[in-house]
Amino acid sequence: MDYVSALVPPVVMAVFFIALVRVIVKTQGGAAKAKEDAAVDAAMARAHSGGTSQGGAATDA
């Protein structure tokens, strides 16, 4: 029965990983989705326009 004890940990980890992925996928969106999308769009616009965020200096690296 050594094979059973060898297979249990990977199977348990796989089940928990699948459950984690399902939770992450199901919680995407929701009531705050538009607010989060707007925040990301604003940050991307600042990054593309060369603006700085939170008083940091822009570098040309």
Mean per-residue pLDDT for 11-38?
Answer: 88
For 36-52, write each residue's pLDDT tens digit.
888 899 999 999 887 55
pLDDT band (50, 70, 90) for residue 20: very high
Q: For residue 28, what is the DSSP state? A: S
pLDDT band (50, 70, 90) for residue 27: confident
**What local confidence, expressed as pLDDT, does residue 26 receive?**
86
3-class SS of residue 10: helix
**What local confidence, expressed as pLDDT, does residue 53 receive?**
54
Q: Name the percent of the chain in helix, strand, coil, to the closest 5.
A: 70, 0, 30
**What local confidence, expressed as pLDDT, does residue 60 receive?**
53
